[in-house]
Amino acid sequence: MEKKEYCTAIVLAAGSGKRMGTKVHKQYLLMGGKPVLYYSLRAFEDSKRIDEIILVCGAGEEDYCRKEIVEKYGISKARKIIPGGAERYDSVWNGLKETKEGYVYIHDGARPFVDEEIIERAYECVSEHHACVAGMPSKDTVKIADSGNIVTATPDRSSVWIVQTPQVFDTELIRKAYALLMEKDEISVTDDAMVAEQMLGASVRLFYGSYENIKITTPEDLEIAEVFLKRKS
C-alpha cells in the first residue's frame, strides 16, 4: 500500500474582487444560497487526500470566516485562518509559513468547482513530478501582442493551456521558491508555478482540471457558475 503524504490545502480568500463591482468580496457572494468560498472548502473538507486546510482571508475578516463559513458549514479541517497580504504572493507566503512537510495545494477560493477528481489527479501528478498545475487546453486561438496591440506571434493552439488552480507542489520546494521570491525588490509573478519556474528553474507539469473550474471574477462568471451548480444538483 502506498504511503500517503500529508496534504495541506491553502485556500486564498483575501482578494477584494474589484472587477465584480460589488461591496461584498466575490468569495463571500452567495451562489446557490451559500458563499462562493464554501464550495472549494467543502471539496477539500470531503477529500480523502486533504489533511488540513489553511484559509487565508483579508486582514480583519478572520472572525467572520470562522463564524460565518468554517463553523457554520462544519469545515473541521480548516484549523488555521490567517490574514493575507497586499498581493496574492504575500497571501501565499503567509500560508506557506504555516504548512507542514508533504504536499501543498494552493487554490483560489473564488474557484468553487474544484472536485475530488481534480484533487486526485493533482495528487498523482505531484507524487511523480513535484510541481504541478491544473489547466485545460485552450479552445481559442491565442495571439501575442506588443504594447501597441500589434500581433507579434500566434502560438500553435495545441501547445496553449489555460492555467487554473489548484497548483500543487512538494511543500519544501515551493516554500524555498517563495522564500527566494520574497527577497526580491521587485516582484512580478501571476501564479505559483511561475515562482517555482523563475526562482528554482523547476519543471512544472500540467494536469487536467476542468472547463467548469472557472474563477468568479465578473458578474457574468457568477451567472455561469449558477448554471453549473444547478446542473450538478
Look at residue 74 and tell me if it is in a domain: yes
Residues 27 and 11: their CA atoms lie apart, in Å, by 11
Look at residue 1 and tell me if it is in a domain: no
Residues 54 and 164: their CA atoms lie apart, in Å, by 19
Look at residue 97 and tell me if it is in a domain: yes
Range of the domain at 19: 7-232
Question: Is residue 175 over pLDDT 80?
Answer: yes
Look at residue 42 and tell me if it is in a domain: yes
Count CA atoms closer than 13 A to 140's CA, side-chain side.
5
Cell of 7: 496534504
Count the domains in the chain. Answer: 1
Look up the CATH number of the domain holding residue 110: 3.90.550.10
How many beta carbons lie within 10 A of that of residue 212, not counting itself?
A: 18
Residues 219 and 8: their CA atoms lie apart, in Å, by 30
| pLDDT in the model for residue 26 | 80
| Strongest mean pLDDT among 2-11, 125-134, 216-225 | 125-134
| pLDDT in the model for residue 204 | 98
Which range among 24-28, 44-48, 64-68, 225-229 shows the weakest confidence by mean pLDDT?
24-28
Report the chain's mean pLDDT, rounded to a whole number.
94
Look at residue 196 and tell me if it is in a domain: yes
